[in-house]
Amino acid sequence: MSECTLLFGGSFDPPHARHTSLLKDAMRSVGATRAIVIPARLNPLKRTTPPTAGALRFEMCQLAFDDPTGHIRVHDLELKRDGASYTVETVESLLRRGLCKQGGIRLIVGSDAMRSFTRWHRFMDLLRLATPAVIARPPDTHESTRAFLEEFAIETGFSDAPSWLLPLEPVELSSTAIRDALVRGEQPAGICERVRGVITRENLYAAP
């Protein structure tokens, strides 16, 4: 794929070192020339609003994913939309704006989210526009994720599904443990100093 754009969506509440290292590893793995990080307004399958306001999560993502080369960009298009964040609509918007090219889009999807992919809004349309780049997440292993993707290929007709799995170590990306540590007044590792500055300035994740 000559021009591959990798999309990375999530709550990023807060963004941490494993988010940033995973994105760089995934870019190398799929040969992406650039990446777009997209903080979500509302996950339609969870229907819970992230604890932190979208504008602050966007600011923290800009600081966490800051890339002097310009190959990584943070976009707030989902935060500006009302209601749930449907990935297929995000991809369509990026295509209309010329920020991605048809046939050159990969989408980071955790193995846990992949298991519910058929519940995603217009998931077949999404798969025609963007190819998942699947990351195994504990308790999934490469083997269990590949077995699921083989079944997914049979069920959906996307015969290349097993090849979507990236050869990266299983990754835990949840920010919950970091938020819990901050509530306890701890200083957890994995948060860059500029993001920590926003957390301190806004008194985020403080104990009630």
List the CATH number of the domain containing 95.
Answer: 3.40.50.620
Task: Let me know if residue 207 belongs to a domain.
Answer: no
- Does the pLDDT value for residue 1 go beyond 50? no
pLDDT in the model for residue 46: 62
In a domain, 179, yes or no: yes
Domain that holds residue 85: 5-202
Q: DSSP 3-state assignment of 132?
A: strand
- Residues 39, 194: contact at Cβ < 8 Å? no
pLDDT at 76 (0 to 100): 96
**Residue 110, SS3 per DSSP:** strand
Residue 208 maps to a domain: no
Residues contacting 35, CB < 8 A, separation 6+: 5, 6, 7, 8, 23, 27, 71, 72, 73
In a domain, 25, yes or no: yes
**Percentage of residues in the chain having pLDDT higher than 70:** 96
Cα distance between residue 51 and residue 207, in whole Å: 13
Bridge-based pairing of strands 5-10 and 34-39 is parallel
**Is residue 28, in this structure, part of any structural domain at all?**
yes
What's the domain count of the chain?
A: 1
Residue 134 has pLDDT above 80, yes or no: yes
Q: Is residue 95 over pLDDT 60?
A: yes
Mean pLDDT of 57-83: 94
Give strand pairing partners of 133: 108
Beta bridge partners of 106: 6, 131
Given a cut of 60, whether residue 108 has pLDDT beyond it is yes
- What is the pLDDT at residue 47? 52
Considering the domain boundaries, does residue 74 fall inside one? yes
Compute CA distances 144 → 24, 37, 75, 111, whole Å.
24, 27, 33, 9
The answer to whether residue 166 sits within a structural domain is: yes
pLDDT at position 72 over 90? yes
Helix (H, G, I), strand (E, B) or coil at 116: coil
Is residue 207 predicted with pLDDT exceeding 80?
no
Instruction: Decide if 88 is inside a domain.
Output: yes
Q: Which of 49-53, 116-120, 136-140 has the lowest mean pLDDT?
A: 49-53
